Structure 1
Amino acid sequence: MSLEKTMTLAKTMSLATTQTISKAMSKVPVPSLPAWINRRMTDADEYGSRTFDRSFIVLGLIMYMVGLVMVASSSIPVAERLFNNPFHFVIRHGIYIGLSLAMAGVALQIPMSWWHKNSSYLLGFAIVLLVTVLLIGRTVNGSTRWIVLGPITVQAAEPAKLFFFCYLSAYLVRRREQVMENLKGFIKPLIVFAVMAALLLLQPDLGTVIVMFVTTFGLLFLAGAKLWQFIAMATVGATLLGMLAYFEPYRWRRVTSFLDPWQDPFGSGYQLTQSLMAYGRGEVLGQGLGNSIQKLEYLPEAHTDFVMAVLAEEFGFVGISVVLLLSMTLVYKALILGRCALAKEKYFEGFLAYSIGIWMCFQAAVNIGASAGIVPTKGLTMPLISYGGSSMIVMTLALVILIRIDHEIRLQSMQATSSKRSAKKVTKPNEKKVVLANGD
């Protein structure tokens, strides 16, 4: 076969492959939304001259400041006792915010194509972190979750969540047709999830497993998997989670104490009863900043997992409502951004924005629900508010990814608009010349 024929055949095969992928991706279902959301999206397409959405930065900074104030208010008593420095946790939290902003500045320069291309390597790095923490990790309160790197500690489960969602989004772009049409494509990402879940349960960290399971479930649903697959996945997942809780005594005590914490208010129900007292004292407007009683070492983990209970006591129902509104706005914008990305045929970006939105929504709901006695306590932080360096940095990276996705979509729209204007300017003089030639 001659060289020319070989090159022609290669071009034909490449074109056929491209057309096949385009047809498969064109089947991506864009879930129908209420008319008022669609109108909001239509307005969002008129970007003007802005190259990114400033409201993401505003929301993030406000939540940073709320978290810094609440960590300062809730951690002073325990910091005074443990370190003889009432501002120990406040200083560290401020350093974590500074590190988060520095890493955000770097991550903002990374294009989304890099995250897509290196998603498999990021997943491998996440698994290495989960294995490493089991070998050399620090154990606190019976859980081995932290890798000590000099003066800082890294909670391996936090970056593992983000990297797994990157991998899952890239997998749905590559194998979406398999996910929709056969069981094999649906099972493959679940096998990867099962491996990571097993490593997390060895720490043990059931809360992170539940967050990853719910996000995976929601993302596969949005990707268009079949209904019977979801019913099977939900049934198997609920059964396994129930067995994990039932056959582990301390987990079962959490479930039973959550159902009736006042049955053992000084034992298994102590933390929840103290948290409920904080909510009760807060009433509508709260007791005022710094006037919480429960933070005086009555409520354990007041500056981490139960910071929202102290916020409820000091700022009442109004304060909790404001924080919920901030979180809901951020989640809403992430989900709308995911839909816009899919509409612009940026499928990896769309799926990743969806996964970040579901992740933030569920983790915030579990954190507030646990402190309010709505769900069992799971040890999950409040995104961008609770004390914790790993959670703060990873959540900031997730927010930066949303900003980068929005930036790239806006640039694509601006370039398309400028191309259309240039085409019009070139076409009009040519049309006039044709008329003159015909007139001659």
Structure 2
Amino acid sequence: MLNRAALPKLHWPAALDLAPGRMPFDAMLALCAIALVLTSFVMIASASMDVAARDFGSPTFFILRQSIYIGLSLVVVAFVSIIPVWVWHRHGATLLVLGFVLLVLVLIPGIGREVNGSKRWIGLGFFNLQASEVAKMCMVLFMSGYLVRRLSEVRSGWWGVVKPIIPLAFYVALLILEPDFGATVILMGTVMGMIFLGGMRFGQFLVVVVGAAFLAYVMAIFQPYRMQRLTSFQDPWADPFGTGYQLSQAQIAFGRGEWFGTGLGNSVQKLFYLPEAHTDFIYSVLSEEFGLIGALVIVVLYILLVSRLFLIGRRAEKLHQFFMAYTCYGFGFIFAGQALINIGVNVGALPTKGLTLPLFSYGGSSLLVSAAMITLVLRIDYELKKLQYSKQEKGRNTVPRRARHG
């Protein structure tokens, strides 16, 4: 059962009650997220101006839209920061249904919007909502609550492991119908990672991983374009103007960047050579303009961000705040998985997938949901600090019985 007393209803102004000199939230996590967003804005401006001028008649088209998305993300940050964590815990099932409804709406003609053969967006006028981004966050919050309620079942047998796979299967089926293979992989990996950290037996985990890998293989062989991607990334130069075009152009960008890059704005590959230069392959443009050093700085920022997510989760687990812990772990898996896959695609280590680089690629859905996840973890960190401080103060104010009676 949900213990509301253990999850205090706090708001940011109450941070004055924390230990003197302590930040009300994790500064390292916040700074990493801000650094990625600001760097992203500069790179989107650099990578998109020529494409925007050609397609929309204004070189600032994508820059202005990204500015609006950043503004909306600040609204999301302000909103999520005032919601106590117990509210997310209590409404986990509702959020699961919300994610399911959004994935269904995408597939309904007239509501879902098709781009490049995939129905992944719900048109909201000036803004296209990518349902899979919201669905991933909803699934993590539901799974966190499930693991708190059914932890003994998960650790004792198969039934506790199978039950959360049922709603996951519905999500996966809808994602495949879009199709969105990248989001499917991230979602399955996140749920399996959360269950494993919840105490799932290693033998069970191995069986689930083998089953998931077999399912991915079956999906690949029954879709010719997926098989082409799997084979072309091994040697993109075998067909540099066909199936290997994106990867070969990305590798040219990395080669031109060398150690220190060609300088901001001096990328050649963004001039209509590299497709989706401001979205899926923005990391390649950054590597061309800032070189290996700039590319490694971004990798370090993601390592720091993900490590802070897991460290906050670990601290929550030590304080027996398991919903908070599993939520941090789930979000950590999402950020780590998407960053790993996107960067891996850019460097040619993985097949091409349409996954955004969180907090970095152009687009509203990914940025808004990423901002919500980061803010929720900051809220968790704040409540943990509040809980720790209250326990310390309670311990200090407790007078030993011997001293009370002389």
The aligned counterpart of 2:210 is: 235
| 2:269 aligned with 1:310 | no
Give the one of 155, 158, 171 matched to 1:180. 155
Letter matched to residue 102 of structure 1: V
Rg bigger for which structure?
1
**1:96 offset after TM fit, Å?**
0.4
**1:54 offset after TM fit, Å?**
2.0
| 2:134 aligned with 1:162 | no
**1:46 offset after TM fit, Å?**
8.5
Q: Pick which of 212-221 and 110-119 moved more.
A: 212-221
Letter matched to residue 72 of structure 2: L
The aligned counterpart of 2:53 is: 80
| Distance in 1, Cα, partners of 2:378 & 2:390 | 18
**1:51 offset after TM fit, Å?**
2.2
| Distance in 2, Cα, partners of 1:47 & 1:350 | 25
The aligned counterpart of 2:81 is: 108
**1:213 offset after TM fit, Å?**
1.1
Q: Percent identity?
A: 43
| 2:403 aligned with 1:431 | yes
Q: 1:21-420 maps to which residues of 2 (within 5 A)?
A: 48-135=21-108, 136-420=111-395
Q: Is the 8 A contact 1:166 1:352 kept in 2?
A: yes
Q: Secondary structure at the match of 1:138?
A: strand
The aligned counterpart of 1:14 is: none
| Distance in 1, Cα, partners of 2:22 & 2:313 | 21
Instruction: Say how many residue pairs are matched.
Output: 390
Q: Is the 8 A contact 1:305 1:380 kept in 2?
A: yes
**1:47 offset after TM fit, Å?**
8.1
Q: Secondary structure at the match of 1:299?
A: coil
| Distance in 1, Cα, partners of 2:199 & 2:62 | 45
Cα offsets for 1:32-53 (capped at 9, x unmatched): xxxxxxxxxxxxx988543222
CA-atom RMSD, angstroms?
1.7
Q: Secondary structure at the match of 1:259?
A: coil
| Distance in 1, Cα, partners of 2:20 & 2:40 | 31
TM-score (norm 2): 0.93
Q: Secondary structure at the match of 1:224?
A: coil
Distance verdict in 2 for CA 1:382–1:47, change over 3 Å: farther
Cα offsets for 1:363-393 (capped at 9, x unmatched): 1010000011000111111110110100000
Q: Is the 8 A contact 1:337 1:406 kept in 2?
A: yes
| Distance in 2, Cα, partners of 1:235 & 1:144 | 29
**1:362 offset after TM fit, Å?**
1.0
Cα offsets for 1:299-322 (capped at 9, x unmatched): 000000000000000001001110
Q: Is the 8 A contact 1:47 1:410 kept in 2?
A: no
Q: Secondary structure at the match of 1:325?
A: helix
Cα offsets for 1:322-372 (capped at 9, x unmatched): 000011001001111111000001000001101111110111010000011
| Distance in 1, Cα, partners of 2:178 & 2:19 | 48
| Distance in 2, Cα, partners of 1:183 & 1:61 | 42
Q: Is the 8 A contact 2:261 2:291 kept in 1?
A: yes
| Distance in 2, Cα, partners of 1:97 & 1:187 | 39
| Distance in 2, Cα, partners of 1:230 & 1:421 | 44
Q: Is the 8 A contact 2:19 2:389 kept in 1?
A: no
Letter matched to residue 224 of structure 2: P
The aligned counterpart of 2:5 is: none
Q: Is the 8 A contact 2:29 2:304 kept in 1?
A: no
Distance verdict in 2 for CA 1:336–1:46, change over 3 Å: farther
**1:71 offset after TM fit, Å?**
0.3
Q: Secondary structure at the match of 2:348?
A: coil
Larger RCO of the pair (alpha carbons < 8 Å, separation 6+): 2
Distance verdict in 2 for CA 1:47–1:321, change over 3 Å: farther
Q: Is the 8 A contact 1:119 1:166 kept in 2?
A: yes
Q: Secondary structure at the match of 1:146?
A: strand
Letter matched to residue 156 of structure 1: A
Q: Is the 8 A contact 2:122 2:129 kept in 1?
A: yes
Q: Secondary structure at the match of 1:286?
A: coil
**1:236 offset after TM fit, Å?**
0.9
**1:422 offset after TM fit, Å?**
2.0
Q: Secondary structure at the match of 1:154?
A: strand
Cα offsets for 1:367-421 (capped at 9, x unmatched): 0000110001111111101101000000000100110110000000111112122
Q: Is the 8 A contact 1:112 1:405 kept in 2?
A: yes
- In structure 1, list runs of 5 or more residues that go unmatched: 1-16, 19-44, 436-440
- In structure 2, list runs of 5 or more residues that go unmatched: 3-17
Letter matched to residue 365 of structure 2: S
Distance verdict in 2 for CA 1:295–1:409, change over 3 Å: same
